[in-house]
Amino acid sequence: MAINEVLALKLEDLGFDRKVTHIQHSVSPDGTLGIPRSEANKAGVPMPDAMAKILRVFLKSKTYQENPLGLVFCNRNDPPYTDNKLREYKLSPLLESSKMCRVGFDAFRHAVASELIESGAPDHRSPGSAPP
């Protein structure tokens, strides 16, 4: 999932029972909720058991904040985070304190995808392949 899709996740998008996350929205650079760039981006993304467990713990924690939009992740004023603010205030300081080079969220997304492919996970975007 792209970071703007993650930031737009709503509770109703989390399909714990079917182990899938539905991509219904995306956060635009100005912080408003919109639709993903293409119909292909609206696909369901498999939710591994480990991710489901992390999400359930997060949703029961003090860190999770209920909000009128039903977002999984929102800032203290209720609107969704934007990728620019999240990068500026969270990711960049974390990378800097870890002495890692500055990269964006897509670098992590592509690294995980590469690891999955190298470990033999099927590419669910290819025609005829089974979802991982």
User: Residue 119: pLDDT band by 50, 70, 90 thresholds?
Assistant: confident
pLDDT exceeds cutoff 50 at 76: yes
**Strand locations in 4-58, DSSP E?**
14-15, 20-22, 26-27, 33-34, 44-46
pLDDT exceeds cutoff 60 at 127: no
Under DSSP, the state recorded for 99 is: T
| Bridge partners, 15 (sequence order) | 20
* Burial grade of 93 (CB within 10 A; 0-12, 13-18, 19 or more): exposed
Cα 103 to Cα 92: distance, rounded to the nearest angstrom: 8
Helix, strand, coil shares of the chain, percent, nearest 5, are 40, 10, 50
What pTM, to 2 d.p., does this model score?
A: 0.79
pLDDT exceeds cutoff 60 at 125: no
pLDDT exceeds cutoff 60 at 65: yes
* Greatest mean pLDDT among 9-13, 88-92, 124-128: 9-13
The three-point CA angle 66-68-71 to 5° equals 60
Q: Check residue 132 and give its pLDDT.
A: 44
pLDDT exceeds cutoff 90 at 42: no
CA 47 to chain centre: 11
Q: Check residue 112 and give its pLDDT.
A: 82
Which residue reads 């990711």 in tokens? 91
pLDDT exceeds cutoff 60 at 63: yes
For the record, the structure tokens of 18 come out as 């079917």
The average pLDDT across 93-111 equals 89
pLDDT exceeds cutoff 50 at 123: yes
